[in-house]
Structure 1
Amino acid sequence: MDSPHRVLHARGLVIADHHGQPRVVLGAHAAKSTRPQMPSPDQALSSSGLTLLGPDGAERGHYATFDAGGEAVLRLDDASGATEVFKVVANPDRGATLTVKHQNNTGAMLTSWQGSPELLFVEDGGRAFFVRPGAAAAP
């Protein structure tokens, strides 16, 4: 059928590079490694989305919507896939959180999760500095 209005229906699609290595995964019930903070650990983590893989197969990024809780997550990982260096979580009831992190675990988080804006900075030693409305600024 050569119709320009043709629609393809599928549960998933894998796009591979010239070596046969999967590089993009698109589908319902996408990769299980992207996990938003859920209110209950026993809730299902079913999601639909897009997963980007590096040339070695390491997961480099993900965009997903989750069936339980209605959250949407956009995440980018370092080259090894071990560190989430950029992550945005949007929850229909709890607001949004933006996290930017370095491989050495330093980073910053901006969130409205508690109902008001908060900013958190984490040093490489694990020491955290919070900035909240009405509170003294971080040193």
Structure 2
Amino acid sequence: MSRADLAEVLEVEQAGYTHPWSAAMFLAELEKPQARIDLLRIEGHLAGYLCSWFLCGELHILNLVTAPAFRRQGVARRLLAHAIQCRRAQGLERVLLEVRLSNAPAIGLYEHFGFCRDAVRKGYYPDGEDAQLMSLSINQYPPRD
């Protein structure tokens, strides 16, 4: 992602969340050396993006969003696989993320990738919803079909 992509990313972000990231949050991520925002375009349209940090062998997934028009088409799966493969060559050992307990489709996707449910973070989200903390050891990747 670059600054030129910001308006389009914000449009998708706002369509996907009741508490979306702000422009300032995305711009701050662009300045962090450990951060990366990968975009997936399909036929010129932003289909989704994945925001992550890579530190000390760990990839932390911060935000994974699929544009409404591209849901159920494998966008999140492709973005997640891409992020893991890119960092694997740099010594990736583990992937971490938090996901809303109510987001069963996302939890299912992560479990398909081999993620384990580690703990629940009570009141993690701004609206008070709990988060499921999940992790993936790189030894458990790629997923089994």
- The structure with the largest strand share of the pair is 1
- The structure with the largest helix share of the pair is 2
Task: Report the structure number with the largest CA radius of gyration.
Answer: 1
* Greater RCO structure (CA 8 Å; 6+ sep): 2
Please report the TM-score for the alignment, with normalisation by the length of structure 2: 0.32
